[in-house]
Chains A and B, each alone.
Chain A
Amino acid sequence: MSIIKVNNLSKSFGGVKAVSHINMAIDGGEIIGIIGPNGAGKTTFFNLLTGIYSPTSGEVIYNLDKEVSSKSFKPHKMTGYGVARTFQNIRLFKNMSIIDNVLLGYHNNMSYGLLSSLFRLPSFYKNETKAYDEALKLLEIFNLLDKKDELASNLPYGEQRKVEIARALAAKPKLLLLDEPAAGMNPNETKELTTLINWIKDEFKLTIILIEHDMSLVMGICSKVFVFDYGTLIASGTPNEVQNNEQVIKAYLGGE
Chain B
Amino acid sequence: MKLFNKKNILSFLAVLIIYAIAGFFINTGFIDSYIFLNIVLIGINIILAVSLNLITGFTGQFSLGHAAFMSIGAYTAGILTAKLDQPFWIGIAGAALFASFAGIIIGIPTLRLKGDYLAIATLGFAEIVKIIGLNTEYIGGATGLNDIPRYTTWTWLYFCVVATVLFISNFVKSYKGRACIAIGEDEIAAEAMGVNTTYYKVLAFTLGAFFAGIAGALYANYFYFLKPDSFGFMKSIDILVIVVFGGMGSIKGSIAGAILLSVISLFLQGIPELRMVVYSLILFLIMVYRPQGIMGKSDFKFFKKRGVVNVYHQSK
List chain A positions with a Cβ less than 8 A from chain B.
50, 52, 75-80, 84-85, 87, 91-97, 99-100, 103-108, 110, 112, 114, 116-120, 122, 124-125, 127-129, 131-132, 149-151, 154, 167-168, 171
List 5 extra interface pairs beyond A99-B309, A171-B193, CB under 8 A.
A91-B192, A104-B175, A104-B178, A104-B182, A107-B178
Instruction: Enumerate the 3 nearest inter-chain pairs by beta-carbon distance, A residue then B residue, closest first.
Output: A117-B174, A79-B194, A93-B185
Quick one: which of B1-45 are within 8 Å of A by CB?
A: 1-3
Chain A residues lying within 8 Å of B175, measured Cβ to Cβ, are 103-104, 106-107, 110, 112, 117, 127-128, 131
Q: What distance in Å separates the Cβ of A235 from its nearest Cβ neighbour in chain B?
A: 29
B259 on the interface (CB 8 Å rule)? no
Set of chain B residues within 8 Å of A167, measured between Cβ atoms: 193
Contact A118 B171 (CB under 8 A): yes
Residues of B within 8 A of A122 (CB): 3
Contact, CB under 8 Å: A117 / B190: no
Q: Do B195 and A132 touch across chains, with their CB atoms under 8 A apart?
A: no
Q: Given the known A-B contacts A104-B179, A129-B316, A154-B300, are A84 and B192 also in contact in the complex, defined by CB atoms under 8 Å? A: yes
Known: A97-B303, A103-B309, A151-B303. Contact between A128 and B182, CB under 8 A?
no
Chain B interface residues (CB < 8 Å from chain A): 1-3, 167, 170-171, 174-179, 181-182, 185-186, 188-197, 203, 249, 297, 300, 303-304, 307-310, 313, 316
Q: Which residues of B contact A84 (CB under 8 A)?
A: 192-193
B300 to chain A: closest CB distance in Å? 7
Least CB separation from A108: chain B residue: B194
Shortest Cβ gap from A80 to chain B (Å)? 6
Complex Cα spacing A84 to B189, Å? 11
In angstroms, Cα B308 to Cα A104, docked, is 11
* Contact indicator B308/A79 (Cβ below 8 Å): no
Q: Which of A104, A116, A122, A124 has the most chain B CB within a 10 Å cutoff? A: A104
Known: A76-B197, A106-B175, A132-B313. A52 touches B188 (CB 8 A): yes
- Cα-based distance from A152 to B75 in the complex (angstroms): 44
Q: Which of B2, B176, B190, B308 contacts A100 (CB 8 A)?
A: B308
Set of chain A residues within 8 Å of B171, measured between Cβ atoms = 117-118
Is B181 within 8 A of A87, CB to CB?
no
Q: Interface on chain B toward A: helix, strand, loop, or mixed SS?
A: helix
Question: Which listed residue, B185, B191, B313, touches A96 by the CB 8 Å rule?
Answer: B185
Q: Which of B175, B193, B297 has the most CB of A within 10 A?
A: B193
Given contacts A85-B192, A99-B310, A149-B304, contact A117 B176 (CB under 8 A): yes
CA distance A122 to B1 in the complex (A): 10
Q: How far is the CA of A167 from the CA of B194 in the complex (A)?
A: 11
Interface centre among A85, A92, A118 (most CB of B within 10 A): A118
Do the beta carbons of B189 and A93 come within 8 Å of each other? yes
Q: Inside 8 A of B1's CB, which chain A residues have their CB?
A: 125, 128-129, 132
List, in ascending order, chain B residues with CB within 8 A of A50's CB: 192
Assess whether A96 is in contact with B193, with CB atoms less than 8 Å apart: no
Please, how many angstroms separate the alpha-carbon atoms of A103 and B316 in the complex? 17
Contacts of A92 in B (CB 8 A): 186, 189
Contact of A95 among B185, B195, B304 (CB under 8 A): B185
Q: B310 contacts which chain A residues (CB < 8 A)?
A: 97, 99, 149
Given A104-B190, A117-B175; A125-B3 close (CB under 8 Å): yes
Choose among B3, B170, B297 the residue that contacts A117 (Cβ–Cβ < 8 A). Answer: B170
Chain B residue contacts of A99, Cβ below 8 A? 309-310
CA–CA, A116 and B175, complex, Å: 11
Distance (Å) between the CB of B127 and the closest chain A CB? 31
Asked if B189 contacts A100 (CB within 8 A), the reply is no
Q: How far is the CA of A182 from the CA of B183 in the complex (A)?
A: 26
B194 near A107: Cβ-Cβ < 8 Å = yes
Contacts of A114 in B (CB 8 A): 176, 203
Q: Could you jot down 19 A-B contacts, CB within 8 Å?
A: A75-B191, A76-B195, A78-B192, A87-B192, A91-B186, A94-B186, A95-B185, A97-B303, A97-B308, A100-B178, A108-B194, A117-B170, A117-B175, A119-B167, A120-B170, A149-B304, A150-B300, A154-B300, A168-B193
